[in-house]
Structure 1
């Protein structure tokens, strides 16, 4: 029994259909634009347990996830882009950097990012957050980080080997491989203040002391989201710092309270899209620290553009639908939903 897979190639399509077919292929997760006239794309994809492997050859194409796209689709996984050859410029909008062959770009899909590819050969690997975050709770701070070979080399070697063996890999072994990748990535990130070569989106405008305070505060928040008294006073007391220093670390988020609410909303959203989650919306809201269902519903709609019930229904619908182009079915929507 082989892994679920599919292949896409613009060589099989006429030039008048090639780009539209590719845009349709990625329509569920990114906005795609042509760069120049020489657009080409080949994709070989494999689905593993809580992980997807995309072996891609691309030229003349841009992928982007705008803030609006991020809010709408609610993706909450991490994607690793390993560059094997070619010119890839990528990162958070306005902070794009050139990725060198052998390096890995880390993208947190809860945040915007942009990439431009010219004669690129890369392996892109979406991974379930739950496989990484227990071991590296600050993975979100590495959005846009470019891991050089001295940091991400083991991760890169594993991704290359896994991709090369995907055609013949035993499904039982494959089902354990995603957890191994999560552990390798967590090991690469743990203890890293972000490599000198990295671009760290979340810390771009922070002073070094504020970065340390913020990271400690974020870990505390993640561990106590269900505590209804979680706030600036309790966080500052736990870290042994003043409220003013804590506020300074969260200025770009509009303050501590707003950051805490945002993380609570994101955690409820994660639960709503998770397969097998049967708790009611009200139960989930209270479990993650909200004291009013009405307030939670308003905040969710304001943040994500639709009520929580509608969001849950759309996630359930997405699992039963696939995108179709001509006589070819692309299962990416279903595959992405299985990351949660």
Structure 2
């Protein structure tokens, strides 16, 4: 089949948009989850790519809870899996009442037949939704991974999903089956090489997560500082540099965390239709040394230059073909849950 461009479907919502949260709630409800606000601030920028056998969502969210409870499970009968990978920010997820904090690069697998919750304070993350038959073909006991955090340093799963998100807009018209099976194979490899326990974490890891959260809050509040580095963060939260390095060791390092948050906040601003600042001004506001520096980092993370992304967004303004709508979401999830078996 000839290659073609997959059309992205986008929505950008925030507090000052009329009925913004209600619109987002209805979109997420089509996927089988109920949405609740966390705090006073709500922002949502979602880009979706629908393939024949998987759907990918690239999300930047602030102040949102997604919950799937037993009543919803009985009502819609969905059986798909979805995999979440955190790119940057603060989010937690797991079975109801057992949510755990993710580090950047961590993955989290959910089975739609089981209760679950995701809590997003302020995060940039990717979700890939897969038909059950696809995982059953290579990982019959995938249900046992429901709500488990699959750490970044235990294999290439998270990196592969983030890479898929970067390349999604340039993929051919039917990459879905290959992408879904790739993810299923990586999950199977993870199970083969990693022993997961019910707890999954040790006390020292809990301490590191607490320290990492303190650091991330400080970083988010000080992104515009040109002198924001390891020393500034350690001093700002009253922690030694060695303890700070240890807390971020498995998520790529503190320097990488600062860059991740800068580029994520820049992208969130870029995706906001009401944002009037020139890109050069935004680059400085988020702590980049120059617009060219920002552009290089942005392309490294997202696979497209920021000026190209902004041009595409403006070109798509007002076109129904690229609007993320409830009827589209509903059709995608219905299709995923009636997919035929997949051969490994």
Per the TM alignment, residue 175 of structure 1 is displaced from its structure 2 partner at its CA by 4.4
Contact 2:105 2:159 in 1 (8 A): no
Distance 2:107 2:61 in 1: 17
Distance 1:173 1:115, change over 3 A: closer
RCO higher in 1 or 2 (8 Å CA, sep ≥ 6)? 2
- Displacement of 1:174 in angstroms is 4.7
Matches within 5 A, 1:160-309: 160-190=162-192, 192-194=194-196, 198=200
Change (3 A) 1:172 1:328: closer
Q: Alignment length, in residue pairs?
A: 212
> Which of the numbers 111, 115, 119 marks the counterpart of 2:118?
115
Q: 2:87–2:162: 8 Å Cα contact kept in structure 1?
A: no
- Structure 2 Cα separation of the partners of residues 91 and 102 of structure 1: 16
- Deviating beyond 6 angstroms after TM superposition, the runs of 4 or more aligned structure 1 residues are none
Structure-1 residue corresponding to 2:325: 329
Counterpart CA distance in 1 for 2:163 and 2:324 is 29
* Root-mean-square deviation (Å): 2.2
Cα distance in 1, alignment partners of residues 180 and 121 from structure 2: 29
How far apart are the structure 1 equivalents of 2:114 and 2:169?
32
Structure 2 residue aligned with 1:73: 76
TM-score between the two structures when normalised by the length of structure 1: 0.58
**1:96–1:174: structure 2 CA closer, same or farther, 3 Å change rule?**
closer
Name the CA distance, whole Å, in 2 between partners of 1:176 and 1:106.
19
> Aligned match of 1:156 in 158, 181, 185?
158
**Alpha-carbon separation, structure 2, partners of 1:149 and 1:125:** 16
Q: How far 1:194 moved relative to its partner?
A: 1.5
For 2:7 and 2:43, how far apart are their aligned partners in 1?
24
Q: Is contact 1:52-1:127 (8 Å) kept?
A: yes
Whether the 8 Å contact between 2:28 and 2:34 is mirrored in structure 1 is yes
**Unpaired stretches in structure 1, ≥5 consecutive residues:** 200-323
Q: 1:62 aligns with which of 60, 65, 87?
A: 65
Structure 2, unmatched stretches of 5+, are 202-319, 340-344
Matched residues in 2 for 1:66 and 1:328: separation? 25
Match of 1:259 in 2: none
